[in-house]
Amino acid sequence: MKARFQAAGVSGRVIAILLLVLAVSLLHYQTKTTLPLLHDLYRRLYYIPVGLAAVWFGSRGGLKVSFLVAVLYLPHIMMDWHHVGRELANQLMEIALYFVFSGLIGHYADQERKFRQSWQETAEKLDRSYRELRKQADQILEIEGQLRRADRLSAIGQLSASLTHEIRNPLGSIKGTAEILKDDFPPGHPKAEFLGILLRETDRLDKVVEDFLGFARSRPESEGRELLDLGETARQTVLLVEPQARKNNAGFSLDIDSGLLVRGSPVQLKQVLLNLVLNALQVSPPGGSVTVTGRKKTGKVKGLEYREVEGWLAEISIEDEGPGIPPELLPKIFEPFFTTKFEGTGLGLAISLRIAEAHGGTLEAFNRPEGGARFLLTLPLAEEAGEPESAG
């Protein structure tokens, strides 16, 4: 189609040049020799088709049209101006100038055409190179993304190895000291209760470090799974955080169904809930409230250990009254090292998601229409839970 239009354009230009040459020639033949000024004007008009031919078709085209002009114009000169010697010389000189003019214009037109063709070839090469470079850049970015994710996990592994060494040694000292002090206080003593809390939290922190390392190695462990009440775990988590909530002049609203029995790691699931509750508490304004609800529902979840689970699900929802999550950040909040907190590590939600998936569940984040964020933890309900009415 493009070649057809180009051919039509060339034909149109040739016809236009021929018509101009014929028109000027007819003017010469139709005008009396007693009007030399008009003939001088007509001779100048020949430069138009000659120049156009040179510009459009180069020096060859210009010389051909000059030759055509000479063929058409010479008979008129020889018939009507042969008796005027001076005028005849001028007209013959004009014909020679047609050839000189067309040759010069055609030469520059040829050079410009070669330059334009060279520029077009260069532009096409650059365009091909750009497309190839862009294709390679996309491949590099894809590989870089894969390497970045691998590097993140590798960095987590290195950090975890360091934490395992740097934290476990002090933890061992703390635990040993607490056990020694515990012997000095009988079970009924007020300080014995605090020492018990210290020992339990020390054990939990030690297990968290181990789970952290397991996450970095992408080996979610299924060991240590037991039947537990997810709703009761959520209540215990809230009780643990309530003193901090009171300091922030914030509160909790709990509405948790009974019988949310799941199989999992108590330490890991408590870690997930504690992380979510603390996050909600940190973004809540003074006087705000964090709402924790627990429900049973039917549906399916996908995870690392369960391709697809149909049936009863346990669902814990944690809602805050904070500013919410910017929509452009929602897809990124579960990525390792991504954080909006100045002092955050960007690992809390990533680890929580990993734990949820390792338990065959999901962890999702939403923005509430009325404001604030909502995190939804969904896990498959244990078979031991039975029907909702009989679960306890």
pLDDT tens readout for residues 107-152: 888 888 888 888 888 888 888 888 888 877 777 776 676 566 556 6
Structure tokens at 12: 């149109």
Of 108, 122, 99, 117, the closest CA to residue 46 belongs to: 99
Residue 163 has pLDDT above 70, yes or no: no
Q: What is the pLDDT of residue 306?
A: 42
Q: What is the pLDDT of residue 366?
A: 93
Query: Between residues 266 and 168, which one has the greater pLDDT?
Result: 266
Rounded to whole angstroms, what are the CA distances from 158 to 83, 172, 298?
108, 21, 41
Q: Are 278 and 344 in contact (CB under 8 A)?
A: no
* Three-state SS at 167: helix
Q: Are 95 and 70 in contact (CB under 8 A)?
A: yes
Query: SS3 string of 60-82?
Result: HHHHHHHHHHHHHHHHHHHHHCC
Q: What is the pTM of this model?
A: 0.48
Query: Between residues 21 and 88, which one has the greater pLDDT?
Result: 21
By mean pLDDT, which of 38-47, 85-94, 238-247 is the weakest?
Answer: 85-94
Task: Name residue 314's amino acid.
Answer: A
* 211 contact partners, CB below 8 Å, separation of at least 6: 221, 265, 267, 268, 271, 351, 355
Separation of alpha carbons 371 and 367, rounded Å: 7
Domains by residue range for the chain, with CATH: 2-130 (no CATH), 147-216 (1.10.287.130), 226-385 (3.30.565.10)
Residue 392 has pLDDT above 80, yes or no: no
Would you say how long the chain is, in residues?
A: 392
**Pairing mode of beta strands 251-256, 289-301:** parallel
Q: What is the pLDDT of residue 344?
A: 57
Q: What is the DSSP letter of 32?
A: -
Which residues is 298 bridged to in the sheet? 312
